[in-house]
Amino acid sequence: MFTEIRKENPFQEIIDQILENVQSGKLHKGDALPAERVMAESLGISRPMLREVLRALNILGVITTVHGGANYISENLENSMIQPLSILFRLNNSSVYQNQQLRAALEVECAILAARNCSPVDAAELQLIIAKLDVSQDESERADLDRQLHIKIGEMAKNPMIFGVMSASAQLTENIITGIRAYIMQKQQSVAHVDEQHRNLVSAIIIHDEELAENCMKEHMRTIENYIKEISGM
């Protein structure tokens, strides 16, 4: 599974070997990595060096380290790109509006794919979220349900790359989105409008109407972008 590495860039080579084992199917989600002693011997490196690599992979979400030191391939590999991408966006000084534009483009694609992939179980879960939104008057609960709805649609796209980039972008816009939710709650007409957009979007996804789902999400994203402009004075 692991072979002795060259010495030019041992850190990168160890990461590459672990990722190649995942990509080739030798390691699967939830699988335990060999004991540190065995891995270190196979790779021809010291255990302290191996621990540094494993610590980095743990931070990235590729592996999970449990009490006692055992290491497992993460059950949520799809989320492993979120943190590094979020850092990259910050380093590039992306503005909130630029990030929202990126997020909007990805959300639209997710809506199309969700309409294509929607199963009866997916439909039931979407309808449950909408039903809860329809009766909730609590700002915090509504914010959580809003997040749940968009995450569910993102997951239904069944494209980890799209979902990962969208989630990373969403991390940067979350603070202002939270402000938008509070802003909407203060304007009863806006609450009703956004709720209607959510209902229309979910209805389109459930009936597998990809074009309608695309248009509904575009309309919803335009609304969010307009609220960002209002709040930020753009």
Domain boundaries, the chain: 10-77, 82-232
* pLDDT value at residue 86: 60
Region 102-106: mean pLDDT is: 89
DSSP state of 62: S
| Rounded-to-integer distance, Cα 225 and Cα 228, Å | 5
> Per-residue pLDDT tens for 19-33?
888 888 888 888 999
- The HSE-up count of residue 118 (CA atoms within 13 Å, CB side) is 25
Q: Indicate the pTM of the whole model.
A: 0.65
DSSP state of 27: S
Q: Is the per-residue pLDDT at 202 higher than 70?
A: yes
- Cα 127 to its chain centre, rounded Å, is 21
Q: Out of 18-22, 103-107, 205-209, 228-232, which region has the weakest mean confidence (pLDDT)?
A: 228-232
Q: Out of 130-134, 136-140, 179-183, 201-205, which region has the weakest mean confidence (pLDDT)?
A: 179-183
Contacts for 70 with CB less than 8 Å, ≥ 6 apart: 32, 33
Q: Is the per-residue pLDDT at 85 higher than 60?
A: no
Provide the β-strand partners of residue 71: 65
- Cα 2 to its chain centre, rounded Å, is 30
Single out the residue of 95, 106, 79, 227 nearest to residue 173, CA to CA.
95
CB 52 within 8 A of CB 72: no
Looking at domain 82-232, does it have CATH number 1.20.120.530?
yes
Looking at domain 10-77, does it have CATH number 1.10.10.10?
yes
> Per-residue pLDDT tens for 25-79?
888 888 999 999 999 898 888 888 888 888 888 877 788 888 877 999 888 766 6
* pLDDT value at residue 60: 74
Read off the pLDDT band of 224 (50, 70, 90): confident
Read off the pLDDT band of 197 (50, 70, 90): very high
Q: In degrees to the nearest 10, what's the CA dihedral of 7, 11, 14, 15?
A: -150
Orientation of helix 188-206 relative to helix 120-135, angle to 10°: 170
Which H helix or E strand runs over 56?
Answer: helix 47-60
